[in-house]
Structure 1
Amino acid sequence: MTFKIMADSACDLPLHFYEEDAVVLFPLKVNLNGEEFEDLKSISPSSVYDAIRNGQVPKTSQVSPVVFKNTFTQMAENKETGVYIAVSSELSGTFQTAVMIYEQVKEEYPDFEMKIFDTKCVSLGCGLIVQKAVSMRNSGENLAETLASLQFYANHMEHLFTVDDLDYLAQGGRVSKASAFIGGLLQIKPLLHVEDGKLVPLEKMRGKKKLLRRMLELMEERGSDLSSQTVAISHADDEQTALELKNMIIEQFHPKEVYISAIGAAIGSHTGANTIALFFLNSKE
């Protein structure tokens, strides 16, 4: 029996992925100039970056409970099962809202069963997990087998990323204001990673070239069986650097694939432009 796959826009996969691979999209919301937009659907990342450059501060909010309610109710009525692959619960309240709505729907439909999966990942770290779920579903794997593999991916997903200005992450409460102050004061590029679903500053250094080389050093230290992996890079209005990093990775590690996608409006509201993020597994499945 096949199963439904759902994901939110914070996994930074392009809109056509959801449409072509039969994945239900739960869009996060972006508030700009007093207007509310749906990430991927009614606002572009470039609109967010232009607004930030002009001194505006976009706000984001979690997926609408109504969207969850409608989707889960329809699944229950159709006797469907599935998995919602959620962005880290440490970075968004979307996971908790989905759990709450699921419990409400289950009261009305006691036989309704689905999985709400907290990836503890963000951007394409979460996106790679969604792609794995699609691959397994399309290969005929059942939900239980798929969930076991997704848990492995979530447990072993490495995130390495840099932002131009930590102040944006600090304003949204994603990193401490002290970390942001130090980064801004010294005019250096921070390197961050994810620990248990939280964004954690790792190192600070000067110069893009040096930073990209350091990302590859950490990739070599942490990665496992990189030649058989799909590695992912997400970027915020900086495709040139993403392609540069891709070529460096191919030359050094020869992965199965290097997948590049733009950071969406919701995540971009917190990172600002010129963010580069790298994702890979630190253990062999």
Structure 2
Amino acid sequence: MAVPPPPNIISKEVRVIRIITDTLSGLSPQWAAEHGIPLIPQVIYFGEESFLEIQEMSIEEFIRRLKSSSVLPRTAAPPPGLFIKAFEELDAAHNTILCIHPTAELSGTVRSAQIAKAEAFPNADIRIIDTRTIGAQLGVLVQMADSWVREGLDADTIVRRLEELIPRLRTYFLVDTLEYLQRGGRIGGAAALVGQLLQIKPILTIRDGKVDVYARERTKKRGLERFREIILEEMDQSFSPCLVIQHCDARQEAEELVSFFRQRLGRQDIPVFDVVPAIATHAGPGTLGASFFAKP
């Protein structure tokens, strides 16, 4: 079924601007449907079984299977056919399409969209944007682009604004256990064992489009303290939302973080997103995340 276009969204070129993103944005299907934005599903593999993220496997089911599976799941980019279908539904031959997707360093989504454009709509005005991030910060960029479209900004201006913001994106994750980093081959077994004995809590970040270790703290308490310090030191509060908290099967701790920052900052606009499977696979249950724009 074709997604109905938002009302009165016409650029200076008299072309309707439509947005496409994917499930690695962390946006809910309800929000995406209400705003007329196709949410292209990633593919999740558990062994030989494959599932379309959100459509065929919810975040809750993914976490349940992640905990019980002896083999780590893996995620794959949507096949180009899903993009071709979305392009057709949004009448890409006559409209401008903004495809806003996660870093190509962690996902093949951008490449899949590029293949779909080349194969089916080589002459269409389809602009594929690699945001160099993943998860909630990608979702925030999509929401900002949607608001700019509704304000009547042209496609060139929207793309320029997004590109100007990308270098200021910051995302951090506080990992509760080293088990999944070890199972995924990101750290060795001996290092994981020593880390668990010393109660090491790594803080991960997305740097140059890749997941990297930012800091290592002893104990969960110290990890949370450092996590909060990083956010307060680096965050630009002029944006709304100024901060997005993420979690993987740690709703209560995420809500406690939200309460802390609402009180500290005097702000209420701090939403909570689920950590997307591509990150949860390696970080594991209990992970907390924070995304924001850095100070200039």
Q: TM-score, normalised by structure 2?
A: 0.85
Distance 2:265 2:92 in 1: 48
The answer on whether the counterparts of 2:77 and 2:109 sit within 8 Å (CA) in structure 1 is yes
Letter in 1 for 2:62: V
Asked if structure 2 preserves the Cα contact closer than 8 Å seen for 1:233 and 1:277, the reply is yes
Count of aligned pairs = 278
Identical aligned residues as a percent: 25
In structure 2, the partner of 1:254 is 266
Moved more, 57-66 or 80-89: 57-66
Distance 1:84 1:227, change over 3 A: closer
Is 2:27 aligned against 1:13? yes
Partner SS, residue 202 of structure 1:
strand
Pick from 24, 45, 48 the counterpart of residue 34 of structure 1.
48
Letter aligned with residue 220 of structure 1 = L
In 1, the alpha carbon distance for the partners of 2:142 and 2:112 equals 20
Q: Deviations over 1:100-133 (max 9, x none)?
A: 22122234xx3x1111000001110111111111
Q: How far apart are 1:189 and its partner, in Å?
A: 1.1
User: For the structure 1 residues 33 and 47, does the alpha-carbon distance in structure 2 shift closer, same or farther, using more than 3 Å as the test?
Assistant: farther
Shift of 1:163: 2.0
TM-score by length of 1: 0.88
Which residue number corresponds to residue 81 of structure 2? 66
Aligned 8 A contact 1:40 1:265 in 2 = no
Q: Could you tell me how far 1:152 is from its partner in structure 2?
A: 2.4
In the TM superposition, structure 1's runs of 4+ consecutive aligned residues that sit over 6 Å from their partners are none
Give distance in 1, aligned partners of 2:288 and 2:202: 11
Say whether 1:94 aligns with 2:109. yes
Does structure 2 conserve the Cα–Cα contact (< 8 Å) formed by 1:227 and 1:254? no
In the alignment, which of 200, 213, 218 is matched to residue 225 of structure 2? 213
| Counterpart position of 2:3 | none
State which of 22, 33, 38 in structure 1 corresponds to 2:36. 22
Comparing 239-248 with 25-34, which one deviates more in the overlay? Answer: 25-34
Q: Which has more helix, going by share of residues?
A: 1
The alpha-carbon distance between structure 1 residues 103 and 78, as it changes in their structure 2 partners (threshold 3 A), is closer
Cα distance in structure 1, aligned partners of 2:22 and 2:239: 29
Report what 1:177 is aligned to: 187
Cα deviation code 1:4-63 (max 9, x no counterpart): 111110111111111111111110011235322111111122222222222332221111
User: Match for 2:96: what amino acid?
Assistant: T
What does residue range 189-200 of structure 1 map to in structure 2 within 5 Å? 189-200=201-212
Residue 269 of structure 1 deviates from its aligned partner by 3.0
In the alignment, the residues of structure 2 paired with residue 142 and residue 33 of structure 1 have an alpha-carbon distance, to the nearest angstrom, of: 45
- 1:151-185 residue CA offsets vs partner (Å, 9 max, x unmatched): 12221011111223345356557xx435x863553
Aligned residue number for residue 4 of structure 2: none
Indicate the larger mover: 79-88 or 200-209. 200-209
Per-residue deviation, 1:204? 1.1
Partner amino acid, structure 2, of 1:163: V
Question: Per-residue CA shift, 1:174-208, capped at 9, x if unaligned?
Answer: xx435x86355312111011111111101111333
Return the alpha-carbon distance in structure 1 between the equivalents of residues 289 and 151 of structure 2. 29
Counterparts of 1:181 and 1:142 in 2: how far apart (Å)?
A: 54
